[in-house]
């Protein structure tokens, strides 16, 4: 049993090396801050990048999964959701590598994990959060979250001064209180349209991905699933400041690509790099400067 967990999975029927390599890169790009967890995760990621037997050994990924889970417990309840997904994904890799059909097992795991994660995201947005479907979430977030500010200026048609005044307007008052002279709130039609597009575009795309992932079918459904995942990554992570989630989705999509579809595999690797560029290049800020916003 234990020796089997240390034995590297064979190439024949095994998951593509790129999936394991990209997962190790994710661990290096977003290291954990807990001193007794981070060094071991980083060491496992480095060793798995350098040594193929380490990369393809189930024990490596089961250990990393346990360390990521420990981090979630230690900082409870502050971990972001992609850390949970990372723990499940590393567990899925470890279990798949110890299976007689590693590639097929990991492909099925990635589909189920993506389907369940997107389904929960849709349930929260469409059912459990009253301030999402009425547009409040994006109307407020585009104005108050500094990470979306440049996009609000460029695509929403706001000026810097209007942004400042709107932020003052959105400062909370004690319950029941009201100002004698409240500041103006300026919401150009373009900004309202941008918030509506983000609200419904995001929800519909996530619902489509959940549906396509939870339908256990191959053929055209499988290709539609991959296309929807790529579309989600290309559009969402251009603005959403959560590259860690995007890298995971791209890597899980890659694991789900059929072996005889090198173009799809290449597309997911390209999207992984694109999300890296999105996260490091403040392109909406550059656009805001160019357009004088």
Tell me which of 33, 177, 180, 292 binds other proteins, using CB under 8 A.
177
Do the beta carbons of residue 266 and residue 260 sit within 8 Å?
A: no
For other proteins, the closer of residues 100 and 292 by Cβ is 100
Closest to 157 in 3D by CA, of 142, 169, 167, 170: 142
Taken as a whole, the chain contains a residue count of 293
**At its nearest, how many Å lie between other proteins and the CB of residue 261?**
10
Residue pointed to by tokens 């290709």: 223
The reply on whether position 216 binds other proteins by CB under 8 A is yes
Does residue 85 bind other proteins (CB under 8 A)?
Answer: yes
What Cα–Cα distance (Å) separates residue 250 from each residue in 9, 155, 174, 207, 290? 22, 26, 43, 18, 31
Contact residue for other proteins among 28, 81, 196, 273 (CB under 8 A): 81
Which lies closer to other proteins via its Cβ, residue 137 or residue 278? 137
Task: Answer yes or no whether residue 202 interacts with other proteins by CB under 8 A.
Answer: yes
Does 77 sit behind a cis peptide bond, omega within 30 degrees of 0 on the bond before it?
yes
Region of 15-23, 46-54, 81-89, 264-272 interacting with other proteins (CB under 8 A): 81-89
Distance (Å, whole) CA 144 – CA 246: 23
Would you count residue 89 as binding other proteins (CB under 8 A)? yes
- Is residue 87 within 8 A of residue 72, CB to CB? The reply is yes
Q: Which of 1, 3, 35, 175 binds other proteins (CB under 8 A)?
A: 175
Q: Is 5 in the site for other proteins (CB under 8 A)?
A: no
- Tell me whether residue 47 or residue 121 sits nearer to other proteins (CB atom): 121
The Cα 278–Cα 245 span in angstroms is: 13
The minimum distance between CB 40 and other proteins, in angstroms, equals: 21
CA–CA distance, 291 with 209 (Å, rounded to integer)? 35
Q: Is 160 in the site for other proteins (CB under 8 A)?
A: no
Name the one residue in this structure whose structure tokens are 């251009």.
238
Calculate ∠ Cα 282-288-291, nearest 5°: 140
Q: Which of 7, 30, 52, 136 forms a contact with other proteins (CB under 8 A)? A: 136
Side-chain-side CA neighbours of 192 within 13 Å: the count stands at 6
Binding mask 223-242 for other proteins (x = CB under 8 A): -----------------x-x
List residues near other proteins by CB under 8 A: 13, 72, 76-81, 84-85, 88-89, 91-92, 95-96, 98-99, 101, 103-105, 107-109, 112-113, 115-118, 120-121, 123-125, 128-129, 131-132, 134, 136-137, 139-141, 169-177, 185, 202, 216, 218, 240, 242, 258-259
């Amino acid at each position: 049993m234990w020796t089997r967990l240390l034995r590297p999975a064979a190439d024949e029927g095994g998951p593509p090396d790129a999936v394991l390599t990209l997962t190790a890169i994710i661990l290096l790009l977003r290291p954990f801050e807990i001193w007794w967890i981070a060094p071991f995760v980083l060491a496992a990621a480095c060793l798995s990048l350098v040594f193929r037997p380490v990369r393809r050994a189930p024990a490596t990924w089961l250990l990393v999964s346990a360390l990521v889970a420990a981090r979630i417990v230690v900082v409870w309840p502050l971990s972001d959701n992609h850390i949970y997904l990372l723990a499940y994904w590393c567990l899925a890799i470890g279990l798949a590598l110890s299976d007689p059909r590693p590639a097929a097992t990991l492909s099925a795991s990635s589909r189920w994990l993506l389907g369940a994660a997107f389904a929960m995201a849709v349930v929260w947005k469409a059912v459990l959060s009253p301030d999402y479907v009425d547009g409040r979430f994006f109307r407020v977030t585009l104005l108050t979250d500094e990470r979306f500010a440049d996009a609000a200026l460029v695509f929403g048609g706001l000026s810097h001064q209007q942004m400042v005044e709107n932020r003052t307007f959105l400062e909370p008052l004690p319950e029941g209180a009201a100002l004698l002279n409240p500041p103006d709130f300026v919401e150009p039609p373009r900004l309202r349209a941008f918030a509506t597009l983000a609200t419904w575009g995001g929800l519909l795309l996530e619902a489509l991905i959940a549906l396509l992932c939870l339908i256990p079918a191959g053929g055209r459904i499988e290709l539609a699933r991959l296309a929807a995942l790529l579309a989600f990554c290309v559009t969402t992570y251009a603005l959403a400041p959560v590259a860690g989630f995007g890298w995971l989705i791209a890597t899980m999509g890659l694991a789900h690509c059929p072996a005889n579809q090198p173009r799809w595999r290449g597309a997911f690797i390209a999207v992984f790099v694109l999300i890296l560029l999105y996260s490091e290049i403040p392109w909406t800020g550059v656009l805001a400067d160019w357009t004088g916003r």
